[in-house]
Structure 1
């Protein structure tokens, strides 16, 4: 007789930790041979609810390159992880981290993107970071491209719009895989690759002045080059370091139909397809049929080399990772929209919002996990999730019960999804130590368990101060998710 059973707890080897990006934490933007990157030419946003990433032009890049300060470019200073990594990793170890997600900045290894030899000082820095992680038995999870390609590749060949960028990237990845062989068990290729449909920050390709359809043509062509580069990097990794695993990374934008009206259900399905298109290609190894009509209706023609499809098919990723911050509502006749983490959709009257207008939906994470597990049957990894808030330092303390409430609700839904049968590898919340916001380059939008004494203008001692959530997350990890009180 069949007696059904199901897991009631997190797996014993569950990977608890936190996630960051080089361009939001490191600083030292002009030290030890590092080259300027796409992230470091984007000015701080004037409106915290409006991303500044779409305001980049060749003229603005040239002005940024000529500016030798960090006054208007906060990602150049980060939170000084470059000089404080030992202290920061010790704090992660105190919380009990099993894994730490960070990116290796392409511009630290190849300052111009296609230099003849790698920058030894850049490799040495990441050697020191990984050695410190090894000291505390924390596994590295390395993102290879996290919105920080060398800006010279934009100026030289318009970034990923050029097929030549594939060769530059795979030289970088081969260097990384060879140098760190046996020390990094998990890699991700492109962070939130689907956001390349929004433009410059992901692809490093300028498309200002083009019509809407011409912009889409350029962006999807650039993303095709990234698909091929991802597949080739996966092939490299499996050859150079067979014990390591490669994952893709999606900004998951779960959307609900605004009503049961069939037109709204169809609109939501189509929005979801355009989101999952990217994991379909990287996990299944082929372009899905449903995009053919979308491409045709928007006059998009993907230029492929004869063996591109075979390369994609032969080299799918080993696991699927994604960020999850919010859900949206989609209607066939979309009215007023909300924005968050590059997701655009209607407001859901049943959800609360953060101070930045991001709708908070823990149950949506369970829905997402189940849908993606059913679709791909590959291990899943939540590599970003967190609450950006204006934390207040009072009498040397930060009482962030709102962050604890947010994380508790999402972790509870992760546990429910595991009981549903989802294979979930781990959870790296964003970002464990306060860092520069991606979308607006603010410091005052804080996510961490650790407060960093720095304001939006870069003033402050950079002292690290544990928030109330620090002790709470330490307890969560120590109990393997059993104690969420």
Structure 2
């Protein structure tokens, strides 16, 4: 079975990881703008943003990033040469509404008008995330982030403007990036401060409910604005395996998968799953709903399921595995002894993508869209100027083959967007040297470099993959 002729091959970025220009043209502050890079204390700031609001860490990688704000034409020209058909990016809420509310900033709107025009000029379909870990910092300070229900209407005001302004240029929308991450990193996912909060789960699940209501209403709004608009949810995916056939390990994996699927159950099926009550009881969560919330969720399911996949995950309670962990993209996972692992601790499991896709499609029967998949690695420029990233080619090839196998299994997949088409700032570590792109950007972890763009070996390989619609993989 071959991929559909209109399969969307492409790449993905996020505004807060590539644009830079963090205060230019009246832009307001975003969460990433107060986070330093790894060597300056990013982990502390991510999980204790109260400190980041008070402390000067010296260097903030998002402030300049790769300067996509000024170089987007150059970058999109390279992506056109690469042959990508879909370009995923996000809109910075604080670039449109510097305070998160009030009057919109025309300079910010014009930037995205120009960006989407350039995409269309270069025959690329924009795929736009409305909120990609990017709740304006002003809304954190004034309202406490998404724990406060007032953010629903502020978000919808933002969405209304986007759909009206860009609805003729953007067909594919995603309401929230990796919505399940809100229970793992509340500051990223919901703009919330957790200092002195006795039960973080209470505010995280309450904030998630507000986002789920907002997402459903955004779907309704988009469809009323223009019937052709397609709105998806997004999951930080990667199925949990049980460590062994010990029934306790199997059940631990079931519970971990349910914690992630809870959000997508609501966005696709229109209601909270039966197991939600058990999760809330175990985490001492008392969810507050308003009259009409359940009907809003029921009547406005998403059109497709977007997801990121970097690795599978592993769960279990057997004592011999205690303490053996790996990087699970902020989600706790045990170390799988059957998988290779990157220097940054990410386990490599291409078959896990096929498993995850089958899990999702069997569960929901909605089109899937892989909007993030890639390898973070330290690239070396050779003396002749080349960058021979065969490891990235091998990783991407193996995952595309797994995706194609899932399609043969009967999974409906809209497209594959590599994270990332160009080097950018890592969300988790704030590094530049943890590189994901097919295009190299000359900038280091301390912000030094010329910002020169350079094609890697993987650039030419991915170009052939796209030209052949996934048939030429050597």
1:161 to 139, 143, 147: 147
The 1-side partners of 2:246 and 2:116 are apart by: 52
Distance 1:247 1:371, change over 3 A: same
In the TM superposition, residue 318 of structure 1 has moved relative to its aligned partner by 0.3
Does the Cα contact within 8 Å between 1:253 and 1:275 map onto a contact in 2?
Answer: no
Residue 393 of structure 1, aligned match among 371, 381, 387:
381
1:50-69 equivalence runs, <5 A: 52-57=45-50, 59-63=51-55
Match of residue 259, structure 2, among 274, 293, 306: 274
Mapped to 1, the partners of 2:148 and 2:60 lie a distance apart of 26
Structure 2 CA distance for partners of 1:365 and 1:47, relative to 1, 3 Å? farther
1:86 aligns with 2:73: yes
State whether structure 2 residue 128 is matched by structure 1 residue 142.
Answer: yes
Aligned to 2:416: 427
Does residue 296 in structure 1 map to residue 281 in structure 2?
A: yes
Instruction: Specify the SS of the correspondent of 1:340.
Output: coil
Distance 2:42 2:334 in 1: 16
SS of 1:142's partner is strand
Match of 1:449 among 438, 441, 449: 438
Q: Cα gap change, 1:140/1:482 in structure 2, threshold over 3 Å: closer, same or farther?
A: same
User: Where do residues 171-250 of structure 1 align in structure 2 (5 Å cutoff)?
Assistant: 171-198=157-184, 199-211=186-198, 214-250=199-235
Cα deviation digits, residues 362-382 of structure 1 (max 9, x gap): 000000111111100000000
Deviation at 1:209, TM superposition (A): 2.3
Q: State the secondary structure of the residue aligned to 2:440.
A: strand
1:123 equivalent in structure 2: 109
Pair 1:73 & 2:84 matched: no
TM-score, L = length of structure 2: 0.97
In 1, Cα distance between equivalents of 2:179 and 2:64: 25
- Kept after mapping to 1: 8 A contact 2:87/2:124: yes
Distance 1:72 1:459 in 2: 11
Q: In 2, Cα distance between the equivalents of 1:50 and 1:29?
A: 21
Secondary structure of the residue that 1:321 maps to in structure 2? strand
Q: Could you say which residue in structure 1 is the equivalent of 2:426?
A: 437
| TM-aligned CA deviation for residue 51 of structure 1 | 7.6
CA contact (8 A) 2:40 2:59 kept: no
- Tell me the distance in 2 between the aligned counterparts of 1:244 and 1:368: 26
- CA contact under 8 A between 1:182 and 1:243: conserved in structure 2? no
Q: Name the residue aligned to 2:459.
A: 470
- State the 1:49 CA deviation: 11
Q: For residue 418 of structure 1, what is the aligned residue in structure 2?
A: 407
State the aligned residue count. Answer: 469
Deviations 1:362-404 (A, max 9, x none): 0000001111111000000000000000001122221100000
Root-mean-square deviation (CA, aligned residues, Å) is 1.4
Post-superposition offset of 1:52 = 4.9
Residue ranges of structure 1 left out of the alignment (5+ in a row): 1-7
Which residue in 2 is equivalent to 1:5?
none
Other structure's SS at 1:87 match: helix
Instruction: State how far apart, in whole Å, the 2-side matches of 1:55 and 1:404 are.
Output: 37
1:76-101 Cα shifts (integer Å, max 9, x gaps):
21100000000100111101111000
SS of the aligned residue for 1:187 comes to strand
**Helix, strand or coil at the partner of 2:111:** helix
TM-superposition CA deviations, 1:175-219 (whole Å, max 9, x none): 0000012210100010001000012111001112223xx110011
Using the alignment, how far apart are the partners of 1:300 and 1:253 within structure 2?
25
Do the aligned partners of residues 48 and 467 (structure 1) sit closer, same or farther apart at CA in structure 2, a change above 3 Å counting?
farther
> After TM superposition, where is structure 1 displaced by more than 4 Å over at least 4 residues in a row?
47-52
- 8 Å contact 1:45–1:51 — kept in the other structure? no
How many Å separate the matches in 1 of 2:446 and 2:276?
44
Q: How does 1:285-364 map to 2 (within 5 A)?
A: 285-333=270-318, 335-336=322-323, 337-364=325-352
Structure 2's unaligned 5+ residue stretches are none
Match of 1:40 in 2: 33
The answer to whether the 8 Å contact 2:239/2:312 transfers is yes
- Determine the C-alpha separation between the residues in 2 that align with 1:114 and 1:51: 29
